[in-house]
């Protein structure tokens, strides 16, 4: 059996007195899509933030590519962060309104010291093309794109990090139904090509059944089905 890409054990997330996630365990294999489904407020986004270590959990462990993340200080997490990238519901919220799309996609390359003035622009154009955007759109700012185009640009920016895991938090929920299928097809193609693992957070049960390899259900902070046996 392949080692899991992500192995979450007894995760607890608290906001003050509120326990949003209460002992959640699951694992995700490389190249797998695991859907986390459940009603509004059940703790899906809190689970996503804790997996990404954007909110440090109050308890439990998050093993990613064999490293346990919750015990790592920020300076040791930093080099691992590019490998697990979020894609959030609001496509405009994840891109700075002031920056052109090409700069937003180039930024992770620059932050990671992988930007080369000669090859960099071509790499950005390649990433935009890979997500189905005309590279000429690189000149635009987010408000000059549709929601679907903007979500594609956000995915291009995530891909610039060369991730192994995408945490997709309601990635198509704010898009027109006509645009959703295109973005989901893109995600499926990228997974086939790159072997990415997806933690796919979605409240739409029909959609998760269609898109995911496996579904786990959450309610009031706990998994009600699909919990990994201990």
Ligand X SMILES: Nc1ncnc2c1ncn2[C@@H]1O[C@H](COP(=O)(O)OP(=O)(O)OP(=O)(O)O)[C@@H](O)[C@H]1O
Task: Give the footprint of ligand X on this chain (CB under 6 A).
Answer: 15, 18, 20, 38, 40-46, 203
Q: What is the CA radius of gyration of the chain?
A: 17
Per the listing, tokens 């390899």 go with: 213
Structure tokens, 62:
């998050």
Q: How far is the CB of 107 from ligand X (least distance, A)?
A: 26
Choice between 185 and 225, CB closer to ligand X: 225
Q: How far is the CB of 13 from ligand X (least distance, A)?
A: 7
Choice between 7 and 169, CB closer to ligand X: 169
Do residues 136 and 121 touch, judged by C-beta distance below 8 A? no
Structure tokens, 195:
């072997």
Do residues 15 and 45 touch, judged by C-beta distance below 8 A? no
Q: What is the DSSP string of 136-200?
A: GGGGS-GGGS-HHHHHHHHHHHHHHT--SEEEEESTTTTS-HHHHHHHHHHHHHHHHHH--EEEE
Choice between 42 and 106, CB closer to ligand X: 42
Choice between 45 and 85, CB closer to ligand X: 45
Q: How far is the CB of 14 from ligand X (least distance, A)?
A: 9
Q: How far is the CB of 28 from ligand X (least distance, A)?
A: 18
Instruction: Give the single-character DSSP code of 23.
Output: E
Choice between 124 and 166, CB closer to ligand X: 166
Q: Which residues contact 6 (CB under 8 A, 6 or more apart)?
A: 27, 28, 51, 62, 63, 64, 84, 165, 197, 199
Q: How far is the CB of 56 from ligand X (least distance, A)?
A: 13
Do residues 127 and 159 touch, judged by C-beta distance below 8 A? yes
Q: Which residues contact 78 (CB under 8 A, 6 or more apart)?
A: none
């Amino acid at each position: 059996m392949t080692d899991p890409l992500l192995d979450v054990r007894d995760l607890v997330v608290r906001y003050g007195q509120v326990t949003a996630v209460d002992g959640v365990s699951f694992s995700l294999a490389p190249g797998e899509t695991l859907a986390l489904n459940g009603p509004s407020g059940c703790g899906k986004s809190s689970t996503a933030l804790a997996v990404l270590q954007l909110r440090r959990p109050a308890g439990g462990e998050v093993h990613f590519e064999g490293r346990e993340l919750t015990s790592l200080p920020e300076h040791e997490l930093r080099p691992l962060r590019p490998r697990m990238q979020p894609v959030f519901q609001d496509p405009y919220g994840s891109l700075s309104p002031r920056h052109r799309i090409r700069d937003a996609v180039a930024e992770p390359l620059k932050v990671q010291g992988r930007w080369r003035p000669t090859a960099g622009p071509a790499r950005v154009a390649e990433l935009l093309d890979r997500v189905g955007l005309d590279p000429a759109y690189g000149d635009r700012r987010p408000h000059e794109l549709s929601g679907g185009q903007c979500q594609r640009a956000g995915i291009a920016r995530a891909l610039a990090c060369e991730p192994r895991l995408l945490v997709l938090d309601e990635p198509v929920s704010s898009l027109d139904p006509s645009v959703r299928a295109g973005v989901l097809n893109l995600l499926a193609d990228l997974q086939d090509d790159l072997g990415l693992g997806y933690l796919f957070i979605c409240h739409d049960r029909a959609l998760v059944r269609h898109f995911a390899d496996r579904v786990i259900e959450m309610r009031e902070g706990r998994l009600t089905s699909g919990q990994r046996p201990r």
